[in-house]
Structure 1
Amino acid sequence: MAEASVDLPAEILLSKRVQEMVLDKKEPPAPYKCRDDADSEDDDPISMSPIPLIDLGCLLLSTSEVPAQEIVEVLEKINAALSSWGCFQAIGHGISNLLLDKVRQISREFFAQPMEEKKKYAKTVVDFEGYGADPVPEEGQSLDWSDRLFLNVQPEDQRNYKFWPMTPESFRDVLLEYTDEMKRVTELISRAMAKSLNLDENCFLKQFGERSQLQARFNYYSPCKRPDLVLGLKPHSDGSGYTIIMQDEVGLQVLKDDKWYKIPKNPHALLVLMADQMEIMTNGIFKSPVHRVLSNSERDRISVAVFYTPEVGKEIGPEDGLVNERTPKLFKMVKDYADTHFGYYQRGMRALHTAQA
């Protein structure tokens, strides 16, 4: 009878959390299997990852407190990292280690609760917000070996508090504090990216708009009996402007030159990961990398991703200062691209071509 679950449709499988299947000691059902043995051989191709590590500390100070050359060097590093890798690990971002540890702690405490407690915040298989997995993908697409808690955190009037956990008791206060810090960090990074391209420092902030969105996704990756066949998160690029990720263990990989590179473990660093809308805004200069998350047979893993996205209905496009006779406009003006992106994501495809000029 156990084998019968292999043929269950995705919407039935997604109604049962991955954590439940692990507790029941079940093998991953067929819809979760998306790899073969040959693909899994490159899980650890690079022992020392070259993902750039950049200290943003000098950008937090006034220009009178730090040598101009030091700022120039940091901006050059940001430009080089995002033009080649589409990401970098940030330290010196100004968020205290204590707060980052608290975010990590409330994440683990939430997912460690009994299933009946977590299901108080459950979503349906077609919704984003709440506890569960992504909405059901199109037929034939694999499922991710993970459980998630997805919350709208900014603007304030978009918060749906019925999905915000009451336990652990500190969850809401910690998330509110982290949201305030994410607002500050996205402003810092957006200005730095603009200056690294010799643009007005507020140009990207204007494109994101006064009601730019922040969405937090708490990810829990359970141990998996078949990490050679199952991924925690399938390969994709993000549809946001960019994403800021805090991880506890190694597992996230980015694709560059047809090779997978792991993001090193650095508990108090934040991964700044470009998404499709920033590639559009920079006219293709900054890259939106494909990335994935491996599963692991021996340990679990958590991460917290904050998606920074333009306000609803806000039209975005390449900055004028990046378009000239030598570098023509590669993308057209688009709005609500994240919706278009997700439609293609559900089919296992990228959507960036839909924005090409």
Structure 2
Amino acid sequence: MAAIAENLESSLPVPSVQELVSQQLHTVPLRYIRDEIISSSSHDDHSPSVPLIDMAKLFHHDSQASELQKLHSACKDWGLFLLINHGVSDATLGNIKKQTQEFFELPLEEKKLWAQKPGTLEGYGQAFVTSEEQKLDWNDMIFLKALPIQNRKLEFWPEKPQKFRETVQNYSEDIRQLAVSITKFMAMGLGLNDQAQEFSQGFQEGTYDVRFNCYPPCPQPDRVIGMIPHADMSGITLLLDATDVPGLQVLKDGQWIFVEPIDGAIVVNIGQIIEIMSNRIYKAPDHRAVVNKLKERFSVVTFCYPNPSVKIGPASELTQSGSPPLYKTVTLAEYFQSFYNRKLEVSFIDCLKI
């Protein structure tokens, strides 16, 4: 890997993993072998279960206090939870799953019509590949800026499958409403009063980027990684498993725990913006994706950011009671600049610590 990435906002072209798999490989090309970061993961009856939060209970007066306490504990102890009764319709979820699978089933030449271009991460390809020697993740993806509408670059938005654009439009609008609601409850969980509205309203006019992932089956699944361990730089990340194949893992007390897909549930993952705004009461967890020997896995991941006018820093209500701020306060533009213009191996959030 190059010692420094001058800018992580673009990525070098790499082979399609789906295409590699279609060649009936028995061994994995050397560039994907990641023995150094594969460690045992927990997938047994003794592992702790990822918290399950019922949004309907958060809205209901009689159950709100107890469910809010569950939410607060999940954000504090895990940084990630499964959300049910979230208000995004089964039809919307079904449509986005279907369109995701149908896009990745297109012939390679058709997918390449929407390929990334130099200087951007948008489009079909791979993210954050900064050198020809860099090890690669076992996935293909397409990344699109969905909201606000003026951020869209339709040159990267597939016209096939036929209803792809319309489906992404509808899904991102519903996800935005979910992000506003769930961040409001997070603010309540933190005990914010004056700033609770500001905390969540920032997401009403926020930025929403969607990444569609395909993790093809792999002949040597224990020697590759679908996505390397990382914490998200978003406010929150909302992930929808488009298949019932487990692949997402979260690091909890030094152990990798599978986030088992639940039909209709959405995974809510705390990003580093909320970690900073909560003054590290809520933590952005390390998570990764592993792959399966026989089955393909698809996921739809929406990165939710607040409005560019929102200052990224510890909420003043949390620092007035004697807890010193742990992070600097920066603009969203400065926050992005810190992320993209850094050494890839440096922990991004450490750059913002006081």
TM-score (norm 1): 0.88
SS at match of 1:246: strand
What residue number does 1:326 align with? Answer: 322
Match of 1:237 among 220, 231, 238: 231
What residue number does 1:164 align with? Answer: 157
Query: Which residue identity does 2:208 align to in structure 1?
Result: L
**What is the Cα deviation at residue 95 of structure 1?**
1.0
Point out where structure 1 has 5 or more consecutive residues left out of the alignment: 1-10, 61-65
CA 1:13–1:276: 2 relative to 1, 3 Å: closer
What residue number does 2:111 align with? Answer: 118
CA distance in 2 between counterparts of 1:29 and 1:233 reads: 16
CA distance in 1 between counterparts of 2:137 and 2:22 reads: 17
**What is the Cα deviation at residue 342 of structure 1?**
4.3
Two-structure CA RMSD over aligned residues (Å):
2.2
Deviation digits for residues 239-271 of structure 1 (CA, Å, limit 9, x no counterpart): 111100001221000001111111012121000
Query: Which residue identity does 2:55 align to in structure 1?
Result: L
**What is the Cα deviation at residue 49 of structure 1?**
4.5
**What is the Cα deviation at residue 15 of structure 1?**
3.0
Contact 2:122 2:145 survives alignment (8 Å): yes
CA distance in 2 between counterparts of 1:98 and 1:196 reads: 30
**What is the Cα deviation at residue 211 of structure 1?**
3.9
Higher relative contact order (CA 8 A, sep 6+): 2
Matched, 1:80 2:109: no
Deviation digits for residues 79-122 of structure 1 (CA, Å, limit 9, x no counterpart): 11000000110001011112111111100000001111111101
SS at match of 2:208: strand
What residue number does 2:5 align with? Answer: none
CA 1:348–1:35: 2 relative to 1, 3 Å: farther
CA 1:227–1:338: 2 relative to 1, 3 Å: farther
CA distance in 2 between counterparts of 1:256 and 1:74 reads: 22
What residue number does 2:198 align with? Answer: 203
Match of 1:91 among 84, 93, 97: 84
Query: Which residue identity does 2:14 align to in structure 1?
Result: S
What residue number does 2:171 align with? Answer: 178
CA 1:349–1:23: 2 relative to 1, 3 Å: farther
Greater alpha carbon shift after TM alignment, 138-147 vs 214-223: 138-147
Deviation digits for residues 131-183 of structure 1 (CA, Å, limit 9, x no counterpart): 11113135764211101110000011111112111111111111111111011
**What is the Cα deviation at residue 41 of structure 1?**
5.6
CA distance in 1 between counterparts of 2:48 and 2:152 reads: 37
What residue number does 1:31 align with? Answer: 31
CA distance in 2 between counterparts of 1:340 and 1:177 reads: 32
Matched, 1:226 2:220: yes
CA distance in 2 between counterparts of 1:125 and 1:34 reads: 27
CA distance in 2 between counterparts of 1:24 and 1:12 reads: 25
CA distance in 2 between counterparts of 1:236 and 1:143 reads: 14
CA distance in 2 between counterparts of 1:46 and 1:238 reads: 26
Contact 1:99 1:178 survives alignment (8 Å): yes
CA distance in 2 between counterparts of 1:240 and 1:180 reads: 17
Query: Which residue identity does 1:146 align to in structure 2?
Result: N
CA 1:325–1:45: 2 relative to 1, 3 Å: same
Matched, 1:146 2:139: yes
Contact 1:125 1:135 survives alignment (8 Å): no
Match of 2:349 among 330, 333, 352: 352
What residue number does 2:7 align with? Answer: none
Contact 1:246 1:267 survives alignment (8 Å): no
CA distance in 1 between counterparts of 2:130 and 2:40 reads: 26
What residue number does 1:212 align with? Answer: 206
Query: Which residue identity does 2:348 align to in structure 1?
Result: A
Counting only pairs closer than 5 Å after superposition, residues 103-114 of structure 1 correspond to structure 2 as: 103-114=96-107
What residue number does 1:7 align with? Answer: none
**What is the Cα deviation at residue 195 of structure 1?**
1.0
Greater alpha carbon shift after TM alignment, 139-148 vs 230-239: 139-148
CA distance in 2 between counterparts of 1:285 and 1:303 reads: 28
Match of 1:257 among 253, 268, 277: 253
CA 1:41–1:158: 2 relative to 1, 3 Å: closer
CA distance in 1 between counterparts of 2:167 and 2:203 reads: 26
CA distance in 2 between counterparts of 1:185 and 1:93 reads: 7
Contact 1:254 1:262 survives alignment (8 Å): yes
**What is the Cα deviation at residue 72 of structure 1?**
0.9
Counting only pairs closer than 5 Å after superposition, residues 279-290 of structure 1 correspond to structure 2 as: 279-290=275-286
CA 1:140–1:348: 2 relative to 1, 3 Å: farther
CA distance in 2 between counterparts of 1:79 and 1:284 reads: 13
What residue number does 2:273 align with? Answer: 277
Report how many residues are paired. Answer: 337
SS at match of 1:79: helix
Identity within the alignment, %: 33
What residue number does 1:63 align with? Answer: none
Point out where structure 2 has 5 or more consecutive residues left out of the alignment: 1-9
CA distance in 2 between counterparts of 1:13 and 1:20 reads: 17
CA 1:183–1:81: 2 relative to 1, 3 Å: same
